[in-house]
Amino acid sequence: MTIMNTQLQPALQHAIQFFKDGDFSKAEIVLNEVFTIDPNSAHTVYGMAINCAENGRLKEALEIFECLHLTIKNEAQIPYNIGCLYAMQGDYVSASKNFYKALTISPDDAASLVNYASALHELKRFEEAISYFDKALHLEPHFAQAWCNKGNTLRALKRYDEAIAHYDKAINLKPDMDWVYGDLLHTKMKICSWSGFAESLKSISEKVVVNEKVANPFWLLAMNDDAWLHKNSAKIYVQSQFPSNSVLGQILARPKSQKIRVGYFSADFRHHAVSFLTAGLYEHHDKNKFEIIAFSFGVDDKSPMRLRLSRAFNQFIDVSNMSDLEIAELSRTLQIDIAVDLGGFTNGSRTGIFSHRVAPIQASYIGYLGTMGAEYYDYLFADKIIIPVEFQKFYSEKIVYLPSYQANDNGRMISDREFIRSELGLAEKGFVFCCFNNNYKFSPSMFDCWMRILTAVEGSTLFLYAENEWSKANLIYEAGLRGIDSARLIFGGHIPAEEYLARYLVCDLFLDTFPYNAGTTASDALWAGLPVLTLTGQSFASRIAASLLSAIGLPELITSTQAQYEALAIELAMNLQKLENIKWRLAKNRMTTTLFDTRCFTKNIETAYIEMYGRYYAGLEPEHIFIV
Give pLDDT, residue 539. 98
Residue 382's SS3 state is strand
**Are 583 and 507 in contact, with CB atoms under 8 Å apart?**
no
pTM: 0.92
Burial class (CB within 10 angstroms; exposed 0-12, middle 13-18, buried 19+) of 31: buried
Q: Which residue has the higher pLDDT, 380 or 49?
A: 380
Cα 486 to Cα 463, 476, 480, 492, distances in angstroms:
12, 5, 7, 14
- Return the percentage of the chain with pLDDT > 90, whole number: 84
Assess whether the region 260-410+602-626 and the region 421-589 belong to the same CATH fold: yes
Q: Sign of the CA dihedral 611, 612, 618, 623?
A: positive
Of the pLDDT bands very low, low, confident and very high (cuts 50, 70, 90), residue 5 is: very low
Instruction: Give the helix ranges, DSSP H, for 316-389.
Output: 324-333, 351-355
- Return the percentage of the chain with pLDDT > 70, whole number: 93
Q: Which residue has the higher pLDDT, 366 or 55?
A: 366
Average pLDDT, the chain: 93
Non-local (6+) Cβ contacts of 183 within 8 A are 148, 151, 152, 155, 167, 215, 216, 219
Please work out, in degrees rounded to the nearest 5, the angle formed at the alpha carbon of residue 385 by the alpha carbons of 381 and 386.
45
User: Is pLDDT at 10 greater than 50 in this prediction?
Assistant: yes
Instruction: Give the helix ranges, DSSP H, for 482-575.
Output: 497-503, 520-528, 544-551, 562-574
| Interval 319-340: pLDDT, tens | 999 999 999 999 999 999 999 9
Direct distance between the N- and C-terminal alpha carbons of the chain, in angstroms, rounded to an integer: 64
**CATH says 260-410+602-626 is which class?**
alpha beta
Give pLDDT, residue 372. 98
Residue 426's SS3 state is coil
| Interval 519-559: pLDDT, tens | 999 999 999 999 999 999 999 999 999 999 999 999 999 99
Of the pLDDT bands very low, low, confident and very high (cuts 50, 70, 90), residue 70 is: confident
Of the pLDDT bands very low, low, confident and very high (cuts 50, 70, 90), residue 2 is: very low
User: Is pLDDT at 4 greater than 60 in this prediction?
Assistant: no
Residue range 421-589, CATH number:
3.40.50.2000
- Of 500, 583, 498, 512, which Cα lies nearest the Cα of 542? 512
Of the pLDDT bands very low, low, confident and very high (cuts 50, 70, 90), residue 295 is: very high
Burial class (CB within 10 angstroms; exposed 0-12, middle 13-18, buried 19+) of 383: buried
Helix (H), strand (E), coil (C) string for 54-67 = HCCCHHHHHHHHHH
The average pLDDT across 45-64 equals: 74
Q: Which residue has the higher pLDDT, 390 or 11?
A: 390
Give pLDDT, residue 74. 87
The average pLDDT across 225-247 equals: 96
Q: 317: part of which helix (H) or strand (E)?
A: strand 315-318
Instruction: Give the helix ranges, DSSP H, for 244-400.
Output: 273-284, 304-312, 324-333, 351-355
Of the pLDDT bands very low, low, confident and very high (cuts 50, 70, 90), residue 3 is: very low
The average pLDDT across 290-305 equals: 96
Q: Where are the domains of the chain?
A: 260-410+602-626, 421-589
User: Is pLDDT at 46 greater than 90 in this prediction?
Assistant: no
- Of 282, 344, 308, which Cα lies nearest the Cα of 519? 344
User: Is pLDDT at 62 greater than 50 in this prediction?
Assistant: yes
User: Is pLDDT at 6 greater than 90 in this prediction?
Assistant: no
- Of 512, 537, 541, which Cα lies nearest the Cα of 526? 512
The DSSP annotation for 170-198 comes to: HHHH-TT-SSHHHHHHHHHHHTT--TTHH
What are the backbone angles phi and psi of residue 293, rounded to the nearest 5°?
Answer: -130, 130
The average pLDDT across 240-248 equals: 92
- The Cα–Cα gap between 416 and 405 comes to 29
| Interval 157-193: pLDDT, tens | 999 999 999 999 999 999 999 999 999 999 999 999 9
Give pLDDT, residue 583. 98
